Amino acid sequence: MVEKKAVQKAKADQNKKEKSEPKTEEAIKKEVQKKPEKRPVEKPKKARRGELRAEDIIRLAETNLDATKPVKAAIRRIRGVGFMFSNAVANVCSFGDKRLGDLSDHELKTLEDIIMNPEKFNIPLWMYNRKKDPVDGKNKHLIASQLELTTKMDINEMKKLKTYKGVRHAIGLPVRGQRTRGSFRKGKVVGVSRSKGKPGKGGKK
């Protein structure tokens, strides 16, 4: 035990001397060579649950689609494409059960053309969401921004004509005959509001 303590004391004294003495250039160079600079390693960010990574996204019909899903399921994310219409598109094209990410550029263009122009590929008319357009009388299937814009224009037209539905849209009430006693009360004053400072009925005695 005594010997160990003596050795430790000797090492401590030597370290003190080294610290107090000015370092030579050679000693400094050796220290630099011994300790290379460690750069912090950046870990790749994990995608949150429900979020898509950049490499798993394919842009089709103005919408970001999940490339890991089969075509039939992936195109349902497009506004205006539901279950029945997506099944019809999958039956028309020969690659409905393929992964969207595995499609070639030519197949992606074909897919977009089928969704945008279903009348060319004999998809039945009853699946279209815009039958007998009041402007040109044609049967159409609208998707993405076309559908949004047309819906807004229709609502504005009803408001201008002051139809029953237009008035209901304007005052923010349900349009299709729903009850309003319990539902559609968000943002409105609930209960009876009484004005302050009014005298009572009896008056002063």
Q: What CATH number did the domain enclosing 78 receive?
A: 1.10.8.50
Token readout for 69 is: 């899903």
Token readout for 111 is: 């897919």
Residue 110 domain flag? yes
Residue 17 domain flag? no
In this model, does residue 36 exceed pLDDT 70? no
The contacts of residue 101 (CB under 8 Å, 6+ apart) are: 56, 58, 67, 68
Residue 120: DSSP 8-state: G
29 pLDDT band, cuts 50/70/90, is: low
Domain of residue 156, residue span:
143-177
Residue 13 domain flag? no
Residue 165 has a pLDDT of 95
In this model, does residue 45 exceed pLDDT 70? no
Residue 111 domain flag? yes
Are 113 and 157 members of one domain? no
Are 65 and 108 members of one domain? yes
Q: Quote the mean pLDDT of the chain.
A: 81
Are 115 and 69 members of one domain? yes
Considering only residues 77 and 95, tell me which one the structure prediction assigns the higher pLDDT: 77
Residue 84 has a pLDDT of 93
Amino acid identity of 32?
Answer: V
Are 103 and 153 members of one domain? no
Average pLDDT over residues 104-118: 91
Are 66 and 93 members of one domain? yes
Residue 157 domain flag? yes
Are 122 and 58 members of one domain? yes
Residue 156 domain flag? yes
Residue 36: DSSP 8-state: P
Indicate the number of domains in the chain: 2
In this model, does residue 54 exceed pLDDT 60? yes
In this model, does residue 30 exceed pLDDT 80? no
Are 168 and 106 members of one domain? no
Are 111 and 149 members of one domain? no
Residue 189 domain flag? no
Are 77 and 121 members of one domain? yes
89 pLDDT band, cuts 50/70/90, is: very high
In this model, does residue 47 exceed pLDDT 60? no
> Within 10 A of 88 (CB to CB), how many other CB atoms are there?
19
Residue 109 domain flag? yes
